[in-house]
Amino acid sequence: MESILILGGGAAGTAIGNKLARELRREIAKEEVEITILDKSDVFQNPGVFTFIPFDLYTKEDALKPRRKLLSPRVKCFFGEDGEVTKIDIGSREVAVKSGKKYSYDYLVVATGCRHDLNAVPGLSADYNSFYTLEGTLKLREKLKALKGGKIVIATPRMPISCPGAPGKFTVMLDDYLRHVRGVRENFEISFLWPVELIGPPAYNANISEIFDERGVEVSRNFKFASVDAGKKEVVSADGERIKYDLLVVAPPHRAAEALENSGMTDEKGWVPIERYTLQYQRGTKTYDEVYVAGDTGPAEILKTGIGTHYQAMVVAQNLINDITGVEAMAAYKGETGCPFVGEIYSDATKGVAFIPSWTYNRPPEPFKPSKLGWLVYRSYYYLYWEMNVKALM
């Protein structure tokens, strides 16, 4: 019996589990292969929905599904304390969970996504509003409904973050919401603080820069976000600049799961190092052929998007299948990724335009123009995500 243990049943873990369960069904039936998924929660969250919730374009219910319903019955799973990973011992091929239980494996897939590190920015937790969690985005929705005017600052203190396009998308949707849904845009200033020069690859940056310009969104690039002075409601930069706000909305600093740090699996930036084509775990000069990493958990240099995660998941699953069935071929992840772009939401006054640019390690996205069709595709992608992506049918 070969055992495949998947840590994390999110976008990557669920798609990998489902592809393995389907393509190794004969081996599973003969008890030659066993697939197990561990997750700390039995509810699957789709974070792609969070950006839209403050503007009533999706609801809380749209973001959640019972994990068991998304997974093939051929996959064993343990949730809660029996699924919450606390330590991984790569040497003895064993994983410990919160309840004290231990799981051994022949193949390991690490797909625990990322966590938010509010302590990385002094003062941040004292005035923290974010659409990066379900709880946060629901609270933000209520705040935005009640706010009569003032300065809204949307800030990203540092990279990498999950979905680096999300702060820009949020800002465009916020502008449209205040302008066309609430009709109060003239009472607000919107400011966008960004930690690097470009907002996405050049083609993405060109589009969003033009839109921010047209809408009067003030943009500070290469902004060195140092701290938050919650008492004075000011963001403080490393150069001593102080930016006043009435509402601060933050895409928080991210890092890999604590259990990975505690197991000595992370690099100096807090992420899990891998060989970027095979997605196998690397420690120093050693590559662990039996340990794969997929999704947001991977190194800072690999973009953290749901689209990229899905491509990685398919490569990891294919290589496990090849190995187990004796096919001497190796699939490669070539950096395929993408990040939806929103140019305008759909409202009584606007038709809604968007685009989903895609690119790879070696091929940047081409110049693009968001369109109505793009908006429809992006909204339809929500259904494809549940019905196709997580079920590994595409």
Chain residues binding ligand FAD by CB under 6 A are 7-13, 38-41, 47-48, 50-51, 83-85, 111-113, 131-132, 162-163, 166, 257, 259, 295-297, 304-307, 309, 340
Q: Choose between 234 and 298: whose C-beta lies nearer to ligand FAD.
A: 298
Classify burial at 92, counting beta carbons within 10 Å of its beta carbon; exposed 0-12, middle 13-18, buried 19 or more: exposed
- CA 214 remoteness from chain centre: 29
Which is nearer to ligand FAD, 180 or 379 (by Cβ)?
A: 379
Least distance in Å: CB of 7 to ligand FAD? 6
Closer residue to ligand FAD (CB): 27 or 39 = 39
CB of 223 to ligand FAD, least distance (A): 20
Question: Tokens in use for 120?
Answer: 């990385």
Shortest Å, Cβ 185 to ligand FAD: 23
* Distance of closest approach, residue 235 Cβ to ligand FAD, in angstroms: 20
Nearer to ligand FAD, 7 or 121 (CB): 7
- Which residue number, 65 or 224, has a Cβ lying nearer to ligand FAD? 65
Instruction: Give Cα separations from 271 to 75, 254, 293 (angstroms).
Output: 27, 9, 11
In the bound complex, what is the minimum distance in angstroms from residue 328's beta carbon to ligand FAD? 28
Distances (CA, A) of 248 to 37, 47, 119, 192, 215: 37, 20, 17, 10, 19
Strand order in the sheet with 280-283: 76-79, 33-39, 2-7, 107-110, 286-293, 280-283
Q: Which of 304, 287, 158, 134 lies closest to 227 in space, CA to CA?
A: 158
- To ligand FAD, the closest distance from the beta carbon of 303 in angstroms equals 9
Q: Which residue is nearest to ligand FAD (CB)?
A: 10
User: Which residues are within 8 A (CB) of 334 and not within 5 positions of it... i.e. 6 or more apart?
Assistant: 277, 360, 361, 362
- Measured CA to CA, the distance from residue 288 to residue 369 in angstroms comes to 43
Backbone angles phi, psi at 107, to 5 degrees: -125, 140
Instruction: Give whichever of 5 and 163 is closer to ligand FAD, judged by the CB atom.
Output: 163
Closest distance of CB 308 from ligand FAD, Å: 7
Looking at residue 174, its amino acid is: L
Shortest Å, Cβ 132 to ligand FAD: 5
Q: Can you tell me whether residue 276 is helix, strand or coil? A: coil
Inter-residue long-range contacts of 21-24, CB under 8 Å, 24+ positions, other chains counted: 21/71, 21/72, 21/74, 21/75, 22/72, 22/392, 23/317, 23/321, 24/321, 24/324, 24/325
* CA–CA gap between residue 106 and residue 266 (Å, rounded): 21
